[in-house]
Amino acid sequence: MQKILIIKHGSLGDIISSTAAIKSINNYYNNSSITILTANNYIYFFKKSNFCESLIQDNRRGFLNFVIVIFKLLITNFDIIIDLQNSNRSSFYCMFLRIFSKAKINGTHVFSHYRYKYDKKNPPHVIDGLGKQINLLGIKTIEKPFISWLLNENFSINELKNKKYFIINPGCSAKNFIKRWSSKNFAEVCTFLLNKNILPVVIGAGEDKKTINEIQELESRILNLYDKSPIEVIYNLALNAEGALSNDTGPAHLIAATNCKLHLVLSSFSNTKSVIPQSNNVTFTQSKLINEITSDSIIKKIKLFL
């Protein structure tokens, strides 16, 4: 039995996109033992997915952690390593494994036996790029994220029974504040939806608290699911939503993968060719400065799919 290692640390959007490649790897090596090396944030995600038999947690902090991870990888004696992260850290792991193990490596860096090269000035979309990378191993990839395992047929939220609703995802990490649309704009969209008898459901966690509180102060009738919207909830909400509005952030990829109609509000810092979800159910409005985009212009776009 072959031992396969998949390296995929994050972020959430990239994790969602990578499920197309990971499911394809899982199908191809269905009689092998598959391990995924990932960040601690995504251990739960991969446990639930059943993509692998085992997981190795990597907190990506400090030299000691680096040594511990390398040691774990070396003693496991992997036959094939598929680096879907292709970061500086994962390339260092692969360098050591290239020198001190017999594993064959698939990735984009120089230490790969099966190396996928692409134009760094014009990178492919994540799904397309990872698909071409694993094609070098003879694996034919599926073309969309594979997250149907998140379906909960008993999913229900009392406040949404017999109501039309629309997902509002205003979240954005503090370091990417330049991608954050204003709370006032989101609130004005919420008021528009409420006037159409559609309940805005605002999702988020962690750093999103301030933004969501600001939206609720401006429009108190929203359904606030701050810290109550893990990935399973977002997925199952999106299956029956009238649509969704989002910044460029991880949950947008999750929503897009359900075929929910999604409109993205983007600054020029979002690469529409290589990063955002590529699907017929996804549209976007982009401006150099995100808050140059008015709520009225977004409401016009939302009207097209309500």
State the DSSP string of 23-81: HHHHHHTTTSEEEEEE-GGGHHHHHHHT--SEEEE----HHHHHHHHHHHHHHHT-SEE
Is 159 contained in some domain? no
For all residues of the chain together, what is the average pLDDT? 93
Mean pLDDT in residue range 265-271 = 87
Mean pLDDT in residue range 67-73 = 93
Q: CATH number for the domain including 35? A: 3.40.50.2000
Residues 114 and 187 in one domain: no
* Least trusted range by pLDDT, from 28-37, 88-97, 115-124, 294-303: 115-124
Nearest to 94 by CA among 83, 84, 85, 78: 83
Q: What does residue 303 show for φ and ψ, rounded to 5 degrees?
A: -60, -30
Can you give the pLDDT at residue 279?
A: 83
pLDDT confidence tier of residue 280, bands split at 50, 70 and 90: confident
Does the pLDDT at position 176 exceed 80? no
Percent of the chain surpassing pLDDT 90? 82
Which alpha helices (DSSP H) does the chain contain, by range? 12-28, 43-49, 62-76, 88-100, 126-135, 183-195, 209-218, 231-239, 250-256, 295-303
Does the pLDDT at position 175 exceed 80? no
Residues 136 and 175 in one domain: no
Last residue of a domain, one of 85, 116, 146: 146
Last residue of a domain, one of 97, 119, 146: 146
Residues 101 and 39 in one domain: yes
**Which residue segment(s) compose the domain that 88 sits in?**
3-146
Can you give the pLDDT at residue 166?
A: 98
Condensed to tens digits (0 to 9), the pLDDT of residues 19-51 reads 999 999 999 999 999 999 999 999 999 999 999
Condensed to tens digits (0 to 9), the pLDDT of residues 112-135 reads 999 999 988 888 889 999 999 999
User: By three-state DSSP, how is residue 285 classified?
Assistant: strand
Residues 192 and 295 in one domain: yes
Cβ partners under 8 Å of residue 244, min gap 6: 166, 167, 168, 169, 238, 252, 255, 260, 261, 262, 263
CA 252 to CA 116: how far, in whole Å?
Answer: 27
Sign of CA dihedral 77, 79, 82, 86: positive
Residues 140 and 9 in one domain: yes
Can you give the pLDDT at residue 254?
A: 94
pTM recorded for the entire structure: 0.91
Residues 117 and 46 in one domain: yes
Can you give the pLDDT at residue 269?
A: 82
Cβ partners under 8 Å of residue 246, min gap 6: 167, 168, 169, 170, 252, 255, 262, 263, 264, 265
Is 157 contained in some domain? no
Cβ partners under 8 Å of residue 162, min gap 6: none
Residues 100 and 226 in one domain: no
Output the six-digit token pair for 92: 């260092």
Residues 198 and 250 in one domain: yes
- Crossing angle of helices 295-303 and 183-195, in 10° steps, is 40
Residues 36 and 129 in one domain: yes
Is 154 contained in some domain? no
Last residue of a domain, one of 112, 146, 180: 146
Residues 27 and 142 in one domain: yes
Domain count, the chain: 2
Can you give the pLDDT at residue 97?
A: 94
